[in-house]
Structure 1
Amino acid sequence: MAQNNQKKRVKIDKPKIRADFNRFKAADLENEESYVYQAEMRDAEIANIYVEKMAFEQVVFQNTSFAETAFPYAELTDVLFDHCDLSNVDFSHAILHRVELKNCKLVGTNFSEAALRNVIFQECHAKYASFGFSNLKHVRYESCSLANADFYESEFKQAAFEACDLNQANFAGTKLKGIDLSTCSFENLMVSIENLAGCIISPEQAVGFSRALGLIIKDSQ
């Protein structure tokens, strides 16, 4: 019997979204410790809002932009962001469970010290996004730009990077055992030598890793 060497894909539980949501407005987010349940926001703008411990459950954001917005310690459960601009939004210390981000702009978005469970980033532009000190379990990045993103001292468990741009991403202090980067592109990564064991890369990517380790590759000729 032929052996099946195909790598099993990381399983992600998608958001449980209803179809009959009520609309809500940015003004509904201005109360401290607010809670938004079974609602949607489409073609809207949220600006200049800071709310700690915001809770979103079964919520859809579509074509929504966020400016000068911070939701530290937020809880997001069964949430979909579709074609949204979340650049520089503060989600530090947040808890994300069954969250999907599709075609979103996440430049400089702050997920530091957050806990991500069953989260999918799909075709997102997340250059300079911060995931430092975050805990990621059952998380997948699909065809995302993560150039210069920060994963400093993050913890991965069942995390996957598929066809992503990881150039200059920072994985210092992060254990990469079992993490498959073979379909991703990068010229250089910031990594810790002691945490590289078990990381899966392609032969071509070995050059990028050698640069990260400060090695010089000499032409055999």
Structure 2
Amino acid sequence: MPSAYEQISDLPYGHLLRPHAGPLRKDERYDTVHFDGGSYQDQAANGASFLECAFTGVELGGVKLRQARFNEVWVQGSRWVAVAAPESEWQDAQLLGTVLAGVSAYGSALRRVVLRHCKLESVNLRGALLRDVVFEDCLLRDIDFGDAKLTEVSFPGSTLDEVRFGTAQLRQVDLRGAVRLGLPDGPQGLRGAVISTTQLFELAPQFAHALGITVQDR
């Protein structure tokens, strides 16, 4: 499991960070910038790139981040609400104690990303590419992974509620650590996943229904 930095002083680039002032801008390059405690509402930063940046206590509402790039970013205690970030790229990113609600990230690419103690609600990840991603102690509610490709993704300590894998392609996806599997589509899309024996028993009625099997005791 990739490790996550607990505080900003732990970041290798922490001493290089400089505070940000002003709005977000499209196609802007942000390098070693600290976004601290700001509120960004209905701004457009499509195509912007964030390299070795930190976001602490930041609120983004209705911000447009289409095709934005996040490389080695650290996000802590922030709220991203109704953010449009389709086809964005996330690499070596860490999100801690952050809320993502109503976020559109379809067609995005996430590589070596850690989400810890985060709440994700109504997040669209259709057609996204996730590789080496960890959802640790997170709440995932109403998440759409339809047509996404997930490789080496795990969910230790996380609660999955109304999570749809649909026609996703899974490879080495480890669901064993999840404390709850709320899958409205049942076993559809779970080919390639690893589950525990306990989870198998919990999902047995949905497997039986999908196979057209009637389970009835005399």
TM range (shorter): 0.7 to 0.9
| 3-state SS of paired residue (1:137) | strand
Structure 2 partner of 1:174: 189
Q: Which shifted more, 152-161 or 162-171?
A: 162-171
Q: Does 1:142 align with 2:156?
A: yes
8 Å CA contact 1:14, 1:118 repeated in 2: no
Tell me, yes or no, if the aligned pair for 2:126 and 2:145 is still in contact at 8 Å.
yes
Q: Deviations over 1:77-124 (max 9, x none)?
A: 111110101011111100001101111111111111000011001111
- Contact kept in structure 2, 1:135 and 1:154, CA below 8 Å: yes
Aligned length: 192
**Counterpart among 12, 15, 19 of residue 18 in structure 1:** 12
- CA shift for structure 1 position 44: 1.5
Query: Separation in 2 of the partners of 1:69 and 1:60?
Result: 17
Hey, which of these two has a bigger chunk of strand by percent?
A: 2
Q: Shift of residue 25 of structure 1?
A: 6.7
Matches within 5 A, 1:26-175: 27-28=23-24, 30-161=44-175, 162-170=177-185, 174=189
User: Percent identity between the aligned chains?
Assistant: 22
Q: Name the amino acid aligned to 1:27.
A: P
Question: Could you tell me which amino acid in structure 2 is paired with residue 209 of structure 1?
Answer: F
Once the two structures are TM-superposed, the CA of residue 24 in structure 1 deviates from its matched residue by: 4.5
Of 210-219 and 149-158, the range deviating more from structure 2: 210-219
TM-score by length of 1: 0.77
**Pairwise CA RMSD of aligned residues?**
2.5
Q: Which runs of 5+ in 2 are unaligned?
A: 6-10, 26-43
| Local SS of the residue matching 1:210 | helix
Comparing 39-48 with 15-24, greater Cα deviation is found at 15-24
CA positional deviation for 1:126: 0.9
Name the CA distance, whole Å, in 1 between partners of 2:194 and 2:74: 31
Summarize the Cα distance change of 1:181–1:81 in structure 2 as closer, same or farther, 3 Å threshold: same
Q: Displacement of 1:19 after TM fit?
A: 4.9
8 Å CA contact retained: 1:55, 1:74: yes
Unpaired segments of 5 or more residues in structure 1? 1-11, 186-200
Q: Distance in 1 between matches of 2:21 and 2:163?
A: 31
Alpha-carbon displacement from aligned partner over 1:130-163 (angstroms, at most 9, x marks no partner): 1100001111112222221111110011111023
Q: Deviations over 1:34-83 (max 9, x none)?
A: 00111101112111211211000110110000112111100001111101
Contact between 1:152 and 1:171, CA under 8 Å: does it hold in 2?
Answer: no
Q: 2 CA distance for matches of 1:87 and 1:45?
A: 11
Paired residues of 1:26 and 1:45 also in contact (CA < 8 A):
no
Q: Which residue of 1 aligns with 2:35?
A: none
